[in-house]
Amino acid sequence: MPKPDGSLSAVIVSGGKQYRVAPGDKVLVDRLAAELGSSVKLDRVLLVRDGSDIKVGAPLIEGMDVEAKVIGHSRGPRIETLRYKSKKRVRVHRGGRADYTALEILAVGGLTVPTGTEIEEEAKPAKAKGRPKRKAKEEAEPVVAATAATTETETDTETEAEVVEEKPKRASRRSKQDKK
């Protein structure tokens, strides 16, 4: 989707649908007969906006085209239609998936985004997925080792026994035989 500021954008028609595009955008259009990685020119341009200058076609702008690169072919989600009439034995089930072509817009009317302008992106810290991992066991072992080092009067067997004696996370389930 183009930025709301006065940057370069255009409204094009492809497959009977209208798309608002700008250089650098990626759009999904109905399947085009083009090879992967090839360049495509879309010549049905309805409107071009370059800053405060707006050109509107009647219905198309002559001599204006949008250059795009094919970056992939894919299929959309499955869409099903059902028609049913009760007590009449009428049941019609139809469905299908739409074929799409992914395009990356390179230029609008021969113009691209000036290379001198930098796009400012804030460096956001990566979010951790899920809950944080517990480090209680890792932290508990150095504490036991530190206490063993400070109190040298205790034997090594006693400190090992303290590490081994950890509570289970939950009580084990009793079988039916143990209940009797």
Q: What are phi and psi for residue 148, nearest 5 degrees?
A: -70, -35
Confidence band for 45, pLDDT divided at 50, 70 and 90: very high
**What pLDDT score was predicted for residue 7?**
81
For residue 78, what are its two tokens?
């499955």
For residue 153, what are its two tokens?
């009067």
Confidence band for 148, pLDDT divided at 50, 70 and 90: very low
**C-beta atoms surrounding 157 within 10 Å:** 7
What are the pLDDT digits (tens) for 107-136?
Answer: 998 787 533 344 444 455 566 666 666 655
**C-beta atoms surrounding 16 within 10 Å:** 6
Domain ranges within the chain, ordered by starting residue: 9-108, 136-167
Mean pLDDT of 43-57: 90
What are the pLDDT digits (tens) for 55-74?
Answer: 999 999 999 999 999 999 99
For residue 178, what are its two tokens?
């143990």
What are the pLDDT digits (tens) for 69-113?
Answer: 999 999 999 999 999 999 999 999 999 999 999 999 999 987 875
